[in-house]
């Protein structure tokens, strides 16, 4: 049985970021002071509770679980097991848009079984980090998406502080994959490998058009106004490929139970505000700009995984473009795999065991 913990840290702009971590049951770090003792260079990190996985899916905000802003660090200890096994590495997860970190618990458990610890935060505007259910997607103003990426770097700093000299890999899915593409440009020295899921390459002029629409809507409707127009333009066409449709989210997965869980989750599928789209499009334009390609680290190994029926990746075409971008940028170790028939959420697909096996193989090869 694995060990699950959650905690918060305070972002640079004072937002409390809710985080989860999962450890292998016989890890030498499980519930030890090394995990829970946040060092002085990481500010305001607080252990909230030891929690069972059954409680993770509760849509409770961090401030409802523990007094927000409480900076009293609490440490928990347990007796060491005689058969402790050193961690192979750490995987940090950057989840997608309109979802939250607990959806990756099964993936985390599989990584735990393979000897890896897992950390994941609810991004600002998502899950327990969001101000409220009605404010999902509000990241905090004009530079909110930049701050979201800085939050990822802050969590990576916490991980590095708690697990020195252990390889750290970043897994980014969908929106989290685009944030991760920007992350390696700005914080490439913080990770030892990158896994991109449900991503895409060059999207061209459509981004500039989207950015213009988002800017106009922000001016006339405000930062927090929900953008039904941009939501429809961004996602409305995704389901057409899979008609006749059972739901509006058939494009996520062939696994109907997984799609139904997404639909029934109050922290999934929200319509996001104008300011989110504005900042998101800015980031997409940034990572597509050839003037920034020199920031891509050539020594960080990258694997890009996607379903060949994923509309986000243009059914494999955009994913191939992204792969070639990294190759042309001189990345020494970059690989790509398209899964036949799979749609957007490959970790929730009917072939998810194959996907997880490929991820673990990538990790095992690169931990040295």
pLDDT digits (tens, 9 = 90+) for 237-276: 899 999 999 999 999 999 999 999 999 999 999 999 999 9
Each residue's pLDDT tens digit, 114-169:
999 999 999 999 999 999 999 999 998 779 999 999 999 999 999 999 999 999 99
**Residue 129 forms part of a structural domain:** no
User: pLDDT tens across 39-78, in order?
Assistant: 444 444 444 344 444 334 444 433 333 333 333 333 332 3
Kindly state whether residue 300 falls inside one of the protein's structural domains: yes
Residues in CB range of 236: below 8 A, 6 or more apart: none
Would you say residue 238 lies in a domain?
no
**Which pTM was predicted?**
0.88
Cite the DSSP H helix spans in 222-273: 228-235, 256-264
Give the number of domains in the chain: 1
pLDDT value at residue 52: 40
Q: Which residues pair with 197 in a beta bridge?
A: 173, 305
Q: What pLDDT, on the 0 to 100 scale, is given for residue 1?
A: 63
Average pLDDT value over all residues in the chain: 86
**Does some domain include residue 6?**
no
Range of the structural domain that residue 167 is part of? 90-124+138-204+276-366
Task: Give the pLDDT mean for 106-115.
Answer: 97
For residue 130, is it within any domain? no
Residue 194 lies in a domain: yes
What's the CATH number where 147 sits? Answer: 3.40.50.1820
335 located within any domain: yes
Beta strands 116-121 and 168-173, pairing class: unpaired
Closest CA to 272 of 113, 135, 104, 152: 135
Strands 193-197 and 302-307: parallel
pLDDT band (50, 70, 90) for residue 222 = confident
- Whole-Å CA distances, 31 to 80, 213, 252: 9, 49, 35
Rounded to whole angstroms, the Cα distance separating 104 from 108 reads: 6
In a domain, 288, yes or no: yes
């Amino acid at each position: 049985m694995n060990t699950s913990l959650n905690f918060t840290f305070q972002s640079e702009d004072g937002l409390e970021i809710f985080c989860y971590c999962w450890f292998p049951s016989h890890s030498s770090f499980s519930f030890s002071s090394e995990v829970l003792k946040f060092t002085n260079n990481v500010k305001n990190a607080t252990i909230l509770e030891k929690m069972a996985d059954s409680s993770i899916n509760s849509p409770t905000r961090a401030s409802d679980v523990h007094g927000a802003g409480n900076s009293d660090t609490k440490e928990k200890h347990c007796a060491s097991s005689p058969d402790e096994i050193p961690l192979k590495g750490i995987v940090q997860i950057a989840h997608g848009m309109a979802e939250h970190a607990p959806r990756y618990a099964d993936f985390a458990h599989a990584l735990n079984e393979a000897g890896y610890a897992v950390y994941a935060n609810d991004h600002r505007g998502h899950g327990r980090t969001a101000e409220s259910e009605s404010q999902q997607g509000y990241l905090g103003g004009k530079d909110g998406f930049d701050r979201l990426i800085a939050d990822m770097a802050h969590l990576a700093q916490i991980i590095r502080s708690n697990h020195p000299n252990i390889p750290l890999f970043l897994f980014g899915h969908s929106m989290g994959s685009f944030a991760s593409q920007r992350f390696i440009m700005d914080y490439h020295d913080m990770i030892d490998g990158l896994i991109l899921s449900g991503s895409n390459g060059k999207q061209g002029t459509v981004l500039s058009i989207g950015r213009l629409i988002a800017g106009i809507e922000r001016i006339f409707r405000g930062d927090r106004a929900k953008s039904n127009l941009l939501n429809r333009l961004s996602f409305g066409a995704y389901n057409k490929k899979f008609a006749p449709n059972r739901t509006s989210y058939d494009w996520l997965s062939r696994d109907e139970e997984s799609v139904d869980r997404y639909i029934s989750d109050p922290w999934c599928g929200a319509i996001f505000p104008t300011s989110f789209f504005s900042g998101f499009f800015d980031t997409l334009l940034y990572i597509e700009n050839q003037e920034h390609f020199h920031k891509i680290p050539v020594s960080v190994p990258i694997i890009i995984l996607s379903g060949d029926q994923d509309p986000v990746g243009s059914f494999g075409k955009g994913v191939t473009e992204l792969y070639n971008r990294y190759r042309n940028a001189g990345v020494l170790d970059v690989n790509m795999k398209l899964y036949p028939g799979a749609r957007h959420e490959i970790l929730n697909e009917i072939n998810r065991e194959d996907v997880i096996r490929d991820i673990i193989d990538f990790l095992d090869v690169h931990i040295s």
